[in-house]
Amino acid sequence: MKKLDIANEMTVSEIALGCMRIADLSRDEAERLIRTALDEGIDFFDHADIYGGGQSEAVFAEVLTQSPGLREKMFIQTKCAIREGYYDFSKEHILRSVDGSLKRLKTDYIDVLLLHRPDTLMEPEEVAEAFDRLHAAGKVRTFGVSNHHPMQIELLSKYLHQKLIINQLQLSLTNTTMIDAGLNVNMENAQAVNRDGGVLEYCRLKGITIQAWSPLQFGFFEGVFLDHERFPELNEKLGEMAEKNGVTKSAVAIAWILRHPARIQPIVGTTNPARLRDICRASQVSLTRKEWYDLYKAAGKTLP
């Protein structure tokens, strides 16, 4: 597994394991998944306080407590701010959420804390105070956001004493809004609509690592595009490149994300150890520029 430097703060695996769905696993099943990830070189694990109602963090902790020393081999990221029916960046909620995650994860610190979705009622001064307290107490080492556009990050950054090092955004071969607008500048087609505020280029300029969530999904959790009847041309092209490289279609789809010079870190959410091993082969696939664009167009995108 190749490594990725995040803001000179940490060097981690270029592919991360998303733990949203492990709440339904037994301790033994979760241990097999986690150990498979570590064996494949994955050392970055993504959580959120809402995943499984907190149970995903708890199941993960069961594995850690059974294997002393395992915690020191990994980087743990979690997220907060989504509540039932609304978002909450208040100081009290952030502090309470982190304490809850630490308790469920049975760890003394979180490597990265992300604010999960933007809260339009945000008071950035409160967020700054919460981050200062968490950092000073050693509870959180670094910070980031998820699903934020550039001006929201700028507003937060004006008040924070810590650099925001990660922005987790939806990106897959079928969900490419942050790429589309940059390829269709000065055009009148639908792909020219800038829905993300130039977030791809902004993060590159600011040294913020983009993490791609749902890298194998289409729509908003509508399903996996691999072998789906809605994407025949894309799957045909993925199949050709998979055969050429001796890997699976899933590995090629992840390699497409890894090929981008923004050094994007895919967050893969499979709970199947065998499938995870297949996906990790993406780290060994080097797509040419033409192959990257061929896949982009096969997904239904057009170039001006």
Residues with active-site annotation: 51
For residue 245, give both structure tokens. 């490289």
Q: Helix 232-245 crosses helix 289-298 at what angle (to 10 degrees)?
A: 150
CA gap 266, 14 in Å, rounded: 7
Q: Helix 27-39 crosses helix 55-66 at what angle (to 10 degrees)?
A: 70
For residue 192, give both structure tokens. 């020219």
For residue 61, give both structure tokens. 């902790």
CA gap 267, 168 in Å, rounded: 9
Whether the CB-CB separation of 235 and 224 falls below 8 Å is answered with: no
Nearest to 260 by CA among 216, 217, 213, 209: 209
